[in-house]
DNA sequence: ATTTATACTATCATTTTTATAGTGGCAAAA
DNA sequence: TTTTGCCACTATAAAAATGATAGTATAAAT
């Protein structure tokens, strides 16, 4: 079936047991929310430890970071690897191949954010 | 200042009085959430009335649709026009020029949703 | 006279996100 | 030796976002 036919028949979409009414909401069920795309963008540039993410994403709380990573793992975007048995732990998060398929979305979001800041907003530099 | 320099200085970004730490979260402050991108995608194909949107987006509740449209209007993505003074009202929502700058994001989300449904999920057709 | 249509709002319940503080065990600093 | 900090979280409670359901005013259709 081609895209045009698909579009007309408006099938529901099931991904990871979440059912949605259109491709956009299917995507948003998985990567919507305030922080998921931010986390994923930071993982595009390479594997990161929990604390690295925390420092690179100052606005997020630890609990939320933890929960979002868990969901991203469940949905197959991220792999979690533990390298020690006793504290201090070392845990690394890496994008999966499926996770990388999000790059076009994530890149267009970054580009838009920069453009919007330039034209409708402002950059705030600190000393 | 070029993109590379910008990237290194990591300025905060202020758009519509919301302050964020990176372009991605700046974008998400404006179009994150479960429904905004769905609504915007439906408006790309043209002006829609409230009830048209409601019917085209079956999962959303009226309250949420109403609230989201109000925020999208506040943030300059959408214009609301009222055509009657007494009920039954006729209200139309149209994407602004600024709203249309989101097309690359919205298109890549639709494309990804279709791809993910094909490869990791399934389409559910009804009789 | 009753029903239907429109674009909402009100109220309350549930879910998601945030804020803040705390945990265990190890290493380095004082 | 005592203290301090590090790491990857978890516990608890509060706030914000979203959902469910019902109701409003008026006109046109049945």
pLDDT digits (tens, 9 = 90+) for B28-60: 999 998 999 999 999 999 999 999 999 999 999
How much is the pLDDT for B82? 93
Q: How far is CA B2 from CA A127, B5, B8, B9, B36, in A?
A: 19, 6, 10, 11, 31
Task: Label residue A78 left, alpha or beta by phi (over 0 means left) and psi (-120 to 50 means alpha).
Answer: beta
Q: Give A-chain residues touching B120 at CB under 8 angstroms.
A: 15-16, 76, 98
Least confident of A88-97, B1-10, B49-58: B1-10
Provide, rounded to the nearest whole percent, the portion of chain B with pLDDT above 90: 77
Q: Which fold has domain A34-116?
A: Arc Repressor Mutant, subunit A (1.10.10)
State the pLDDT at residue A86: 67
**CB nearest A37 (choices: B15, B24, B126):** B24
Q: For A34-45, write each residue's pLDDT tens digit.
A: 899 999 999 999
Identify the closest residue of chain B to A59 by CA–CA distance. Answer: B21
Interface of B with A in 56-85 (CB under 8 A): 57-59, 76
Average pLDDT over residues A72-78: 92
Q: What is the pTM of this model?
A: 0.92
Cβ contact A7:A16 at 8 Å: no
For chain A, the structural domain boundaries read 34-116
């Amino acid at each position: 079936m081609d895209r045009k036919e698909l579009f007309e028949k408006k099938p529901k979409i099931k991904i990871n047991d979440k059912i949605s009414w259109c491709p956009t909401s299917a995507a948003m069920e998985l990567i919507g929310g305030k922080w998921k795309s931010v986390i994923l963008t930071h993982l595009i540039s390479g594997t990161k430890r929990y604390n690295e993410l925390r420092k690179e994403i100052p606005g997020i709380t630890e609990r939320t970071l933890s929960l979002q990573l868990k969901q991203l793992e469940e949905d197959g975007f991220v792999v979690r690897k533990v390298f020690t048995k006793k504290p201090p732990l070392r845990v690394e998060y890496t994008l999966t191949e499926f996770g990388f398929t999000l790059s076009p979305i994530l890149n267009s979001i970054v580009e838009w954010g920069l453009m919007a800041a330039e034209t409708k907003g402002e950059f705030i530099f600190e000393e």
